[in-house]
Amino acid sequence: MIHFTLNDQPVSAEKGTTVLQAAKASGINIPTLCYHPAVKPSGSCKLCAVEIIGHSGSPTTMLSCILKVREGLVVRTESELVKKARITAFKNLLQMAPQSKKIRQMAEAYNVPLGPPPDGCIRCRLCIRVCKEIVGADALRMEKRDGTHFVVPIEGRCIGCGTCANICPTDAITLEDRENVRIIKIRDETIGQHPLAVCEGCGKRFATPKFLAYIEQRTDPHPHVKEEHRYCPTCAKLFSDRIRTFSRPAKR
């Protein structure tokens, strides 16, 4: 048996055991992504760094999945040197996989600050401008959180038209019609959630009642030259074409 010190506690392990294996056996968690007991360790993710006293007598970090236990070895898994190495490793991993929730969850579990997660939003403000200047609902705004600006919803303003999702150049805003409900989101925040109205022609659910009411309100001051209806765009065009066809004068 090999005797060494792990986090100021005496530990014994079989010869050939790695520090990572010995730590796990002792109930000490060391983060790792690339390690699997079925294959030879490679140290690719660099997350499993631990502190030891090097040959020069100064503390240094080594990867615990590769480092084998040896007599008199002193290992620390939560020193400032280890924490610094973890921050670097997590940031390097996120450069390769910026949308990975798994990496961010692991970093949070080990108190590694990574800043706000990427959300696909380039802060072009197209959604804010079109919602205010064209649609008129004014349902979005910029808000500063922890030093970073985010597009956020204004509660109760969304009418469910979906214009923001359609105009977003990076698809950061999503629109989903699910079980007769339209859900518009940015990141994990809901911009609007609305039931869908039924087309009087085909029965398809096509728009939100709040949107239809908003259109009626916006067009109310203008003279209505057509019969009011609630048709989806396809049926509206179909019935309009039929009306034009039937209303043409017969050729002589």
Domain that holds residue 30: 2-109
Same domain, 168 and 212: yes
Are 155 and 201 part of one and the same domain? yes
Per-residue pLDDT, averaged over 90-116, amounts to 89
For residue 224, name the pLDDT band (cuts at 50, 70, 90).
low
> What is the model's pLDDT at position 135?
94
Q: Last residue of a domain, which of 109, 132, 163?
A: 109
Q: Is residue 115 part of a domain?
A: no
pTM > 0.75: no
> What integer is the mean pLDDT of 231-245?
69
CA geometry: angle at 187 spanning 186 and 192, to 5°? 35
Is 116 inside any structural domain?
no
Q: What percent of the chain has pLDDT over 90?
A: 67
Reduced to 3 states, what is the DSSP secondary structure of residue 113? Answer: coil
Residues 95 and 170 in one domain: no
- pLDDT, residue 163, reads 95
What separation in angstroms does the CA of 80 have from each of 84, 86, 140? 6, 10, 42
- Mean pLDDT taken over the chain: 88
Residue 114 lies in a domain: no
What is the C-alpha separation between 172 and 174, in angstroms, rounded? 6
pLDDT of residue 221: 66
What is the mean pLDDT of the segment spanning 220-234? Answer: 66
Strand partners, 143: 150
Chosen domain end from 81, 109, 137: 109
Count of domains observed in the chain: 2
Instruction: Read off the pLDDT band of 250 (50, 70, 90).
Output: very low
Half-sphere exposure of 23 (CA within 13 A, CB side): 26
Spatial CA neighbour of 197 closest among 187, 188, 212, 208: 208
The last residue of a domain, from among 56, 89, 109: 109
Return d(Cα 51, Cα 178) in angstroms, integer: 51
Question: Do 181 and 251 sit in the same domain of this protein?
Answer: yes
Helix (H) or strand (E) holding 104: helix 101-109
Residue 107: strand, helix, or coil: helix
Give the CATH number for residue 42. 3.10.20.740
Using N-to-C axis directions, what is the helix angle for 101-109 and 80-96, rounded to 10°? 170
Tokens of residue 66, six digits:
């590769």
pLDDT tens for residues 142-200? Answer: 999 878 899 999 999 999 999 999 999 999 999 999 889 999 999 889 999 999 998 88
94-103: b or e for each residue (b if 16 or more CB lie within 10 Å)?
beeeeeeeeb
Q: What is the pLDDT of residues 126-153, one digit of tens each?
A: 999 999 999 999 999 999 987 889 999 9
Question: Does 54 lie in the same domain as 129?
Answer: no
